[in-house]
Amino acid sequence: MPTETQKYGALPFDEAIAFFRDKLSIGTMAWDDIWSVQHSRAFMIAGAMEADLVNDFKAAVDAAIADGESLNSFRERFDDIVARYGWTYKGGRNWRTKVIYDTNMRTAYSAGRYRQMTDPDVLTLRPYWQYRHGGSSDPRPSHLDLDGKVFAHDDPIWNTHFPPNGWGCKCFVVSLSERDLAKRGKTGTDTAPELTYYDYTDQKGRTHRVPEGIDPGFEYNPGKAAARTDTILRDNLTNADATARKT
C-alpha cells in the first residue's frame, strides 16, 4: 500500500477512468441514500447537496484516478473546496478524506479490472478468478477465509464478493489460466461457501439483506453493475436523488 505522499498503486488505467467518469453526480444527505449497485453509476459525498459542490468533489477524485494523485494532494483539493463553499461535514478531516479517496479509488480500480478480465479474449485464456486478501494487519476473518480460493469467472459468488467488500477493504481478484491452476496445485475450482445473510436497516427505514462478512452497501460487483443497462440504473438514481432532496 502506498504512503500518503505516493501515487495510488498502478493507477491510472483507461477502464478505471471510464468507470468513474460515467457516474452521475448526486446530492445526498447520508451515505446510504445511494445503495449498493447504484454506486456504480452515482458519485456522492454524504452531506453534500449542492450540485456545484458535488461536481467539484468529483473533479478532485477524478484527478486522483486519472493522474494518480496522492492522498495528500487530494486532501489539498478537499480543503480548498470546503473553504470555497463553506461546507460543514461530519467526521475528522483526515478520516473523511481517506474514506472518500480510498473507496472511490479502490472501486474504480475494481471495476476496471473486472472489465479487463471479462474481455472475451482474456476469458478464453484465463477463465478462473482467484480471491486474494489485501494483507491487512487486522484482517476480517471472512475475507481471510476466501484468500487463495479459486472460482469460475461466472460463479455467483462474484455477484456479491468482488472486492472491495467493505470500508477499507484491500482485497482483490486475479485471473488464472489452466497452467496457473496447476502451478498452485489445483486440479479445478474451489467450492464457493454457502452464504448466510443479515438485515441492515438504513437511515430511511429500508431493510437490506447483506451477506455475512460484507459491510452494508458493499454487497455488489462494481464492474458488473456498471455493465448493466444504463437506463435502469439511471432511473433508480433519479428517484434516489429526488428522495434525498425531499428529506
CB 16 within 8 A of CB 109: yes
CA distance linking residue 114 with residue 221, whole number of Å: 9
Grid coordinates given for 190 = 474451489
N-terminal to C-terminal alpha carbon distance within the chain: 39
Q: List the chain pLDDT tens, one digit each, 247 residues.
A: 444 433 344 434 899 999 999 999 999 999 999 999 999 999 999 999 999 999 999 999 999 999 999 999 999 999 999 999 999 999 999 999 999 999 999 999 999 999 999 999 999 999 999 999 988 778 899 999 999 999 999 999 999 999 999 999 999 999 999 999 999 999 999 999 999 999 999 988 999 999 999 999 999 999 999 887 554 555 666 666 666 666 5
- Give percent above pLDDT 70 in the chain: 87
Q: What is the pLDDT of residues 153-199, one digit of tens each?
A: 999 999 999 999 999 999 999 999 999 999 999 999 999 999 999 99
CB 61 within 8 A of CB 43: yes
